[in-house]
Structure 1
């Protein structure tokens, strides 16, 4: 771990900068990168350029952030432009994705490291309130590297006055052995949930598609394991299932969501993406805000 980091140039951000008045988190993610390009390619002819990806991210942020408590944006495509164009609505906290993605092992995101091109102190001075780091959990090794990266990330955030958010995701073992995705969700929390991150972003157990009692029990276990507040993401959860899954998670100790696909993914297939974002995506996001306001425990 580096011995020194630049001192923060403004007051430290807090979790309150990411929360709704109710205390719940209703956060929007538009930090998907090559995965988003692939999603967009399903709905248009010709290549999906970097500009196409960037423009969607900026458009989605401009339309949806008035209804979100925070928004997560990546440096690769849109973070600098979002700041320069002032697309994030007042009162919506800006989260910078601090992860560098590399394709590997047949996966679009097979390796992750801390994005060294980011200047955390500068981001804080320009209004960012948090950074997020994706951590790939595999059951066949890598624990030492994951723990070291997470601890360094937490320290970088702390010294820049930024809230630290970690996002462990369960991935297949590299040795080809059989594995249990849901067991990986739990094991990731066991390994990384008490390393000092301010907020933990978890996959919904069973992708929200097991019996209610099973999903709830798994969420209770996450609440017992994770030392910080935690929220759920929507990847892998059907759009129509996600609101109920959020409600179950919050009733068992989660504090909200940080999600993208469940809000805007279906808008990509519309003949008028902007109009669909303004109507259907806003409606989905507002419904989710109501869910967390109702079900997050004080």
Structure 2
């Protein structure tokens, strides 16, 4: 008689991020869910030609084909390429599929605010082979803080009910008043957002790199320790705002402080946007960079099973 192993859970009751992890229990994940921001990046290299939806999908599929075999998970949005990734089975078995579940208010390519995408059906996503959903939350010290907490809580609950892991991604921004007065501190805001949102119990918490990756490893690690002190679930960093050449250095620093890896896009594939054919750059630069980053998270990252609040029923961790 076969014994059915229990699904690993976090102490919050959320599905553990085991399916998104490397054998080491760390994360080396590729983000390819950019929408109008990707169009804006591509337009800088388009010689004045309009960047079509088809061109965006083609680039995303190229990234999937070249980088997913080296990644523990691959994140994409439903609008540009998700259907093809699913139908063509582009991801290898050891690369989990993550679907963006956010609607982006994105005037001029900059995300101003977000909401849950009601066109994403968690049960259908699970049937498609999706292992996790991701929600971006733009966090500010403004009058909408409680609404954003409620939004993030609904997202975590929706994933839990569907049996999907939840990846919660707060990105902190200044209010107009903070920007005008020059009083916004990125590191303080990352910690404050984490203290407010991580207790909602996502499977994986994703945040910005302190100081945008500028500074020594010891300095960045000290700042990242502040994040680790308030996050009781596995956490990873994104690469937005970090110079691609500095991202390896930044990932080592945050992993030394307790992070479990990264879910990054721009630091991996931005260089490939400059050529009409992205494949040479994806193969010659992006893939080696991803391999090196994987080695770093394996060496320095905290396995998700060792996050303070992580536990698994029946010892299944």
| Correspondence 1:156 to 2:161 | no
In the other structure, the counterpart of 1:95 is 98
Who is 1:146 aligned against? 148
Aligned to 2:306: none
Aligned-partner Cα distance in 2 for 1:48–1:187: 38
Question: What's the counterpart of residue 272 of structure 1?
Answer: 277
Shift of 1:274: 1.3
Report the count of equivalent residues: 287
Residue in structure 1 matched with residue 133 of structure 2 by the alignment: 131
Which stretch has the larger CA shift, 230-239 or 267-276? 267-276
Deviates more, 1:134-143 or 1:177-186: 177-186
Partner of 2:75: 72
Cα distance in 2 between the residues matched to 1:271 and 1:31: 20
Which of the residues 98, 114, 117 maps onto 1:115?
117
Is residue 27–residue 68 contact of structure 1 (8 Å, CA) maintained in 2? Answer: yes
Q: Deviations over 1:118-144 (max 9, x none)?
A: 110111112100000000111223111
> Normalization by structure 2: what TM-score?
0.87
Superposed displacement of residue 214, structure 1: 3.1
Does the 8 A contact of 1:170 with 1:182 survive in 2? no
Work out whether residues 218 and 253 of structure 2, in 8 Å CA contact, stay in contact via their aligned partners in 1: no
Judged with a 3 Å threshold, the aligned counterparts in structure 2 of structure 1 residues 191 and 14 are, in CA distance, closer, same or farther, namely closer
Counterpart for residue 220 of structure 1: 225
Of residues 30, 37, 40, the one that matches 1:38 is 40
Give SS of 1:113's match: strand
Q: SS of the counterpart of 2:112?
A: strand
Asked if 1:194 corresponds to 2:199, the answer is yes
Matches within 5 A, 1:216-255: 216-255=221-260
Q: CA deviation at 1:171?
A: 1.0
Conserved? CA contact 1:43–1:269, under 8 Å: yes
Residues 207-264 of structure 1 show CA distances to partners (whole Å, capped at 9, x for unaligned) of: 1103444311221111110121000111111111100110110011000000011111
Equivalent residue, structure 2, for 1:82: 85
Cα deviation per residue 1:67-94 (whole Å; 9 max; x = unaligned)? 0000000012111221112111221000
- Secondary structure in 2 matching 1:193: helix
Distance 2:146 2:96 in 1: 32
Q: Give distance in 2, aligned partners of 1:38 and 1:127.
A: 30
Q: Paired residue for 2:21, among 2, 19, 41?
A: 19
Aligned-partner SS, 1:132:
strand
Equivalent residues of 1:62, 1:89 under 8 A apart: no
TM-score by length of 1: 0.92
User: SS of the residue aligned with 1:48?
Assistant: coil
Aligned to 1:6: none
The Cα offsets for residues 85-117 of structure 1, whole Å up to 9 and x where unpaired, read as 21112210000000100125x762112000000
Q: How much does 1:58 deviate?
A: 1.0
CA distance in 2, matches of 1:89, 1:61: 10
2:50 is aligned to: 47
**Aligned residue in 2 for 1:5:** none
For 2:311, the equivalent position in structure 1 comes to none
Alignment partners' CA distance in 1, 2:217 and 2:294:
21
